[in-house]
Amino acid sequence: MTPEEEERSGPASEPPAVEVDEVTKSYGHFTAVDRLSFAVEHGSTVGLFGPNGAGKTTLLRMIAGLARPTRGTITVDGVRLTPDDYTAYRTMGIVTHETMLYDELTARENLRFHADLHGVDDPTGRCASVLETVGLSHRGSDRPRTFSHGLRKRLSLARALLHDPDVLLLDEPYTGLDQRSVADLESVLDGFDDRTVLLTTHDLERGVARCDRAIVVDHGRLEADLVLDDGTSFAATYRRILGVDSESERAGERAG
Ligand SMILES: Nc1ncnc2c1ncn2[C@@H]1O[C@H](COP(=O)(O)OP(=O)(O)OP(=O)(O)O)[C@@H](O)[C@H]1O
């Protein structure tokens, strides 16, 4: 664009926090994610909803750089993800089924390892701070193999928060958490309200309460992209889109 054209078009608009453009992921002949496109604005909380096997985890893993799209592009704050350029990955944190924890290191050592990997300032102080955030200060010297599923998840969240990411990717954040852990997670997310959150969940009620927007995926394809302002209507819409005729969507299963 020439300077004159730039002047006419006004100030450049801010790129979305995350932009997924025609992204496909194939495993052999099977297509797990099929030409998905959407953009996530900065500061929004977007829920990815869909039945088991819809492609939600695959999509989050691609956004986090843990898997590569077969086709299409993913851009984070205007920076295209490529395997050789890690700039964009530094601005993201992910909590997924794989906790990315080393069982032979203590909780604190795990965090320290990741802090060093990310070049976090004041790593000792930052590790203590995120342990406190997730309520694990008293378990810092224990090894994660001695932790319950929920405690491992808390530590995984601490790891994801270490480098103060702009974008938090959460795969089934509520699964396996007791009520207190859910409340703690909610308060961490409440404190995160100027950041961007992209989460998957089968818990429609919690998802709707937390998210501004719902992206519904089935068979790897985008089925709906909805603003969430009324939980009841979303549940009904979700059932209609997926042809689910019972409460089974709470378990994320297709009826029949
Ligand atoms: N490494 C892989 N090799 C082959 N197929 C895979 C692989 N990873 C995922 N898939 C398939 O891709 C599809 C999408 O899986 P994915 O885990 O993304 O679904 P999901 O929407 O997260 O499901 P859930 O709600 O059960 O977590 C599934 O059919 C799954 O079996």
Residues 6+ apart with CB under 8 A from 175: 201, 202
pLDDT at 250 over 90: no
| Domain residue extents for the chain | 14-243
Compute the distance from residue 64 Cα to the ligand 1 centre, in Å. 16
- In degrees, to the nearest 5, what angle opens at C-alpha 96 toward C-alphas 119 and 115? 15
Distance 16 CA to ligand 1 centre (A): 26
List the beta strands (DSSP E) in the chain.
18-27, 30-40, 45-49, 71-76, 79-80, 92-95, 167-171, 196-200, 213-218, 221-227
pLDDT classification of 97: cutoffs 50, 70, 90? confident
* Pocket-forming residues, ligand 1, beta carbon under 6 Å: 27, 30, 32, 50, 52-58, 252
Average pLDDT over residues 93-105: 87
Cα–Cα distance between 105 and 112 in angstroms, integer? 10
Residue 251 has pLDDT above 70, yes or no: no
Distance 7 CA to ligand 1 centre (A): 47
pLDDT for the residue 121: 93
- The residue contributing the CA closest to ligand 1 atom 4 is 27
Sheet containing strand 45-49, edge to edge, reads 92-95, 167-171, 196-200, 45-49, 213-218, 221-227
What is the model's pLDDT at position 192? 81
Contacts with 143 (C-beta within 8 Å, 6 or more apart), sequence order: 103, 104, 105, 106, 107
Could you tell me the two tokens for 84?
């050789």
* pLDDT at residue 118 in the model: 86
CA neighbor of 252 nearest in space, from 27, 48, 5: 48
pLDDT band at 147 (very low <50, low <70, confident <90, very high): very high
Q: Name the residue with tokens 């193999």.
A: 145
What is the position in ligand 1's atom list of the atom closest to the CA of 48? 21
Per-residue pLDDT band at 255 (split at 50, 70, 90): very low
CATH superfamily of 14-243: P-loop containing nucleotide triphosphate hydrolases (3.40.50.300)
Q: Give yes or no for residue 194 having a pLDDT over 90.
A: no
Centre of ligand 1 from the C-alpha of residue 3, in Å: 47
CB contact set of 165 (below 8 Å; sequence gap of 6+): 90, 91, 92, 93, 195
CA–centroid distance, 217 to ligand 1, in Å, is 12
pLDDT value, residue 181: 85
**Nearest alpha carbon, ligand 1 atom 28:** 53
**Amino acid at the residue 65:** G
Task: Name the residue of 34, 58, 63 to mutate for ligand 1: max ligand atoms within 8 A of Cβ.
Answer: 58
Interface predicted TM-score of the whole assembly (ipTM), two decimals: 0.97
Q: Enter the tokens of residue 110.
A: 């795990």
Q: Considering only CA atoms, which residue is closest to atom 5 of ligand 1?
A: 27
- At 168 the three-state DSSP class reads strand
Q: Left if phi > 0, otherwise alpha if psi is -120 to 50, otherwise beta: which for 119? A: left
Question: Can you tell me the mean pLDDT for 196-212?
Answer: 93
Q: How far apart are CA 22 and CA 34, in angstroms?
A: 8
Identify the pLDDT of residue 6. Answer: 56
Which residue has its alpha carbon closest to ligand 1 atom 18? Answer: 55
Tokens of 70: 């077969």
The DSSP-derived string for 40-52 is: E-TT-EEEEE--T
Nearest CA to ligand 1 atom 31: 53
- Please give the number of the atom of ligand 1 that sits closest to the Cα of 54: 21
| Amino acid making up residue 199 | L
CA distance 17 to 77: 5
Is residue 170 within 8 A of residue 95, CB to CB? The reply is yes
| pTM exceeding the 0.80 threshold for the entire prediction | yes
